[in-house]
Structure 1
Amino acid sequence: MASLLRLRSLSFFLAMVAVVVGTATAGGYYAPVFRATPWKQAYATFYGDETASETMGGACGYGNLFNSGYGTDTAALSTVLFNNGYGCGQCFQLRCVNSQWCYKGSPITTVTATNLCPPNWSQDSNNGGWCNPPRTHFDMAKPAFMKIAQWKGGIVPVMFRRVTCVRKGGIRFSFQGNGYWLLVYVMNVGGGGDVANMWVKGSKTGWISMSHNWGASYQAFATLGGQALSFKLTSYTSHETIIAYNVAPANWQVGMTYSASVNFH
């Protein structure tokens, strides 16, 4: 009887560990799942016009945000949040608070970080230098800003929190570089939305560590032409690691974007 009780206790403990750690991956291992963070205070402004044309080609390297799936629900982050590019792809919920320009009911909108709001050291941090460190600030695409406040308000106090990035399909890899240098922009990242480390594997090589270039791009100085390419990625936030096998065929080309069948949770 005592042995049976111990066995049941062990089974219950293992089940609880599985719940705490996360959900099961295809490989049978339990991976962490990103959780929303507590609400914090910040400020928000906007840039560009209603078309959001000025938000295209931001510092994260996503290029045309309509083609890459991010649309106009985007924001440029102050230096603190941008975190040397590791903040690229992260998703935030924002709502305007304590301002006459807030919409009634303080509606919530969700944006993806696609750009850097650089410091403006010629302006005081509380008067124009809104993105100067150590300020936490969101410079939103105008259509996104207009979902939480009247645009004529200019700058409004907000509450924000990190949330899970819900993406359709797998992670996308946009290739640049040449025969000896592969530069990859990582897009459509789910879960925490971010990437901490990345590796590439050719059909004739082992895993090659890629270094962080800038924004959402990673690079490998290696000759990988004529090989099918696989990628291994670790999330910056959840530390979850996934492998996308045979993402690009052996005849892959620079300038093309290739999609995986896997994504972060």
Structure 2
Amino acid sequence: MGGGGAFEATIIYYLILLLGCKAAAQDAADWMSATATYSKQTDASIIIEGACGYGDLHRSSYGKYSAGLSSMLFNRGSTCGGCFEVRCVDHVLWCLHGSPAVILTATDFCPPNYGLPADYGGWCNFPRAHFELSPAAFAEIAETRADIVPIQYRRVKCERIGGMRFTVYGTSSFYQVLITNVGSDGEVVAVKVKGSKTGWIPMGRNWGQNWQCNVNLAGQPLSFEVTTSSGKTVTSYNVASANWRFGQTFLGKQF
């Protein structure tokens, strides 16, 4: 009886050990290698007018936890809004002790500089995977005396406060909406808009996370259907009343 109990305890111990090893192996497989630098701008943002179209990153809620991505990661703007966990690794002088991580949102494009070698100045040259952080975010993972550090990164879900935001721009025959504060995958891959006098109208990507269609929606309440890269869709009905104006921002549902 006692021997049988010891045998069962041993089996349970090795099962727990095996599951722990599998979890550790899976965690290691999630991480990919890249490099990181930081912007030399004096404020806490990467840039005020970045390649994703978000404008002032503090107003759009991304702030200092924003990143410019090399073309390898930026994917012509489709990665805009996606979230990454980043940590400094394998450098005893520059990486902070314990390799703390930060969660970043892709908000800008880090352009290549083919006049410089990829390992000295041309950090964003294709096919390098590279992140340009704000000084404040960089300081949370590495010493700011470093010019460039080796990192690991992985995609994570975006945790957002409040609903998605829809900022409308355009003219009487050209309608554009900037979508920010997107949860879940963060990457918007399809958008539809509906007025009270129309059906659902597919919108095309203009640039970054700006979406457009050639239609007059003046005087109609507006609804939006947003789909992310994982295939999840959220519909926000009548987020803008019939008297909406260009330049206004409206709050919708969240993933």
What interval of TM-score do these two structures reach, taking the shorter chain for normalisation? 0.7 to 0.9
Tell me which residue corresponds to 1:209. Answer: 202
The answer to whether 1:169 aligns with 2:169 is no
Query: Residue 53 and residue 62 in structure 1: after superposition, are their counterparts in 2 closer, same or farther (change >3 A)?
Result: same
Larger Rg: 2
SS of residue paired to 1:115: strand
Tell me which residue corresponds to 1:228. Answer: 221
| CA displacement 1:71-124 (0-9 Å, x = unmatched) | 111100111211111111111111101111011111111111110001111111
Indicate conservation of the 8 Å contact 1:170/1:188, yes or no. Answer: yes
The answer to whether 1:130 aligns with 2:131 is no
Deviation at 1:54, TM superposition (A): 5.0
For 2:153 and 2:128, how far apart are their aligned partners in 1? 14
For 2:46 and 2:232, how far apart are their aligned partners in 1? 34
Indicate conservation of the 8 Å contact 1:40/1:161, yes or no. Answer: yes
Tell me which residue corresponds to 1:247. Answer: 239
The answer to whether 1:66 aligns with 2:80 is no
Structure 2 residue corresponding to 1:258, chosen from 220, 245, 250: 250
Indicate conservation of the 8 Å contact 2:38/2:132, yes or no. Answer: yes
C-alpha RMSD of matched pairs (Å): 1.2
Q: What is the TM-score when the length of structure 2 is the normalising length?
A: 0.86
The answer to whether 1:145 aligns with 2:138 is yes
The correspondence of residues 15-54 of structure 1 with structure 2, limited to 5 A, is 38-49=30-41, 51-53=43-45
Q: Which residue identity is paired with 1:110?
A: I
Deviation at 1:139, TM superposition (A): 0.6
Deviation at 1:185, TM superposition (A): 0.7
75-84 or 41-50: bigger deviation? 41-50
Indicate conservation of the 8 Å contact 1:51/1:143, yes or no. Answer: no
Indicate conservation of the 8 Å contact 1:48/1:55, yes or no. Answer: no
For 2:137 and 2:42, how far apart are their aligned partners in 1? 9
Deviation at 1:51, TM superposition (A): 2.1
| CA displacement 1:121-149 (0-9 Å, x = unmatched) | 11111111111111111011111111100
SS of residue paired to 2:37: strand
Indicate conservation of the 8 Å contact 2:221/2:241, yes or no. Answer: yes
Deviation at 1:53, TM superposition (A): 4.7
The correspondence of residues 93-104 of structure 1 with structure 2, limited to 5 A, is 93-99=85-91, 100-104=93-97
Structure 2 unaligned residues grouped into runs of 5+:
1-28
For 2:48 and 2:123, how far apart are their aligned partners in 1? 21
SS of residue paired to 1:151: coil
The answer to whether 1:194 aligns with 2:205 is no
SS of residue paired to 2:188: coil
Deviation at 1:48, TM superposition (A): 2.9
Q: Which residue identity is paired with 2:254?
A: N
Indicate conservation of the 8 Å contact 2:45/2:57, yes or no. Answer: no
Q: What is the TM-score when the length of structure 1 is the normalising length?
A: 0.83
Provide runs of 4+ in structure 1 moved above 4 Å: none
Tell me which residue corresponds to 1:16. Answer: none
Question: Alignment identity in percent?
Answer: 47
Deviation at 1:50, TM superposition (A): 5.0
SS of residue paired to 2:62: coil
For 1:124 and 1:163, how far apart are their aligned partners in 2? 31
| CA displacement 1:184-228 (0-9 Å, x = unmatched) | 111000000010011100010001110011111100110100000
Structure 1 unaligned residues grouped into runs of 5+:
1-36
Tell me which residue corresponds to 1:83. Answer: 75
68-77 or 52-61: bigger deviation? 52-61
The aligned length equals 226
Query: Residue 137 and residue 190 in structure 1: after superposition, are their counterparts in 2 closer, same or farther (change >3 A)?
Result: same
For 1:53 and 1:70, how far apart are their aligned partners in 2? 9
SS of residue paired to 1:144: helix
